[in-house]
Amino acid sequence: MKKHTCTNICIALIFAFSHLTAFGQVWFKTYSLPTGSTINQLKAMDDVLYIASDSGLHAFNEEGVWKSYTQAGNLQLNDIKSIDISGSQVRIGLPERQVAVMNDTNWSTFQFNGSLAFSYCSRIQNLGGFWYYGTDAGQVYLLLDTLAINLVDGYSPGMITGISETTNGVFIALSSNGIYLDIDGTTFFLDENNSLLPSSNILCGIVHEDVAYDGTDNGLYVADFNVGPPPAVQIYNTSNSPLPGNRIQALCADGEAIWIGTDKGLVKWTGASNFEIYSTDNSNIPSNDVRHIEVTENNLWIATGNGRISFTQRLAGYVHSDHPDEITVYPNPATDRLHVDLPIPPSGHPYEICIVNDKGQVVKVLQGVPLQSMDVSDLTSGSYYLKGIVSDAHVTIPFIVLRRD
């Protein structure tokens, strides 16, 4: 089995993973919103996740700490349609064309003019310091003082589902009827009838390294704006790729990986044909219906159609350590024996390592030499942690035990 090496990757979570199962090295911890809640969007600031839902605005961190916002001044926050964060400012879209703004802990609100024919902001996006407001009726407004300018005037794009921009200035608005593009002042509107779009119904989209990834209800549309115009376009669906479903509901970039949420599972795509599929068949993901994805410093977060929020560590392996040297643990998952390769301790600095279960109970203690081969055959399947002090540095390494039977 492959040997996994982990060096100085910090985590904040030690014992919060209880009652977990594992697939490879992906663990999910799941929490539920109030019963019946619908999650409309996720946004992260630092390592706090903000959840826009029809039960209000919720802030959540990996330690399971909730904070719910139900009121902004005299305005009830009971149906959050959209959210974006820039710096320390949070903006949320509400019914009746209202927008609430939170600076640190201070709230203010404003309302679009009643003459504008829409009900709510379905997307709010900060691009280059400017706030853009996409609506349920297909407008994209840029506010200049009190003047609201509709950037897609003359088109009928349907409900706005995404607003983005490439580094070379291509403005993109996604909608339930197609894609609006502004390339150097020339505007286009793409749908399934005049382009390679597999469907006009665009559910989500991101721009990563000037490549636009747009999820439709009939496959993934990828447009590379590093070439052209026109951009190079590729379509991915169940007939030409390992995607588990054609309904692409969520997209998020994480380094070289693109995370894809479908109605049949979660996908990690690292280019070409490198697809990793996570579903209820091979992991403890709470549902195959992945609606939203967001990445914070430590975690990958997903929201599923059953109103649940789940997170997993972003990286395949990780070590919480302030020790500068390399620590190696293998195999992971382990069956009978676990090898731990630790640095040689300086003279007078012995180390002691213990194994802790997911309830925080110490189940084994050992002292050793640089390479330890540990018997774990008596441990039940589940999540464990190596904890201890190595050369005066605190170390925590998670690992999995899987019984062959």
Report the predicted TM-score, pTM, of the whole model to 2 decimal places. 0.72
Tell me: do 213 and 119 sit in the same domain: yes
**Averaged pLDDT of the chain:** 81
Indicate whether 239 and 375 sit together in one domain: no
Which of 297, 313, 329 marks a domain boundary?
Answer: 313
Domain termination residue (choose one: 258, 288, 313): 313
Encode pLDDT of 236-276 as tens digits.
Answer: 999 999 999 999 999 999 887 899 999 999 998 987 778 88
- The larger pLDDT score, comparing residue 7 to residue 226, is at 226
> Of 279, 296, 313, which residue constitutes the final position of a domain?
313
Residue 99: pLDDT band with limits 50, 70, 90: very high
Evaluate whether residue 9 is within a structural domain.
Answer: no
Do 206 and 257 have their domain in common? yes
Amino acid 4: pLDDT: 32
Mean pLDDT calculated for residue range 399-403: 80
Same domain for 215 and 327, yes or no, is no
Residue 6, domain member (yes or no): no
Share of the chain above pLDDT 70, in %: 80
Q: Return the CATH number at 370.
A: 2.60.40.3080
CA neighbor of 315 nearest in space, from 61, 26, 63: 26
| pLDDT digit string, tens, across residues 64-73 | 667 888 888 7
Report if residue 119 sits inside a domain: yes
> In terms of residue numbers, what domain contains 190?
28-313
Please indicate, yes or no, if residue 348 is contained in any of the structural domains. Answer: yes
- The answer to the question of residue 41 being in a domain is yes
285 and 166 assigned to the same domain:
yes
CATH number for the domain including 163? 2.130.10.10
257 and 329 belong to one structural domain: no
pLDDT at position 179: 97
Percent of the chain scored above 90 by pLDDT? Answer: 44
What integer pLDDT is reported at residue 182 of this predicted model?
95
Same domain, 201 and 334: no
Mean pLDDT along residues 30-53: 85
pLDDT single digits (tens) 347-395: 555 556 778 777 667 788 766 555 567 888 888 888 787 776 555 556 6
Whether residues 244 and 109 share a domain: the answer is yes
Number of domains within the chain: 2
The reply to whether 288 and 366 lie within a common domain is: no
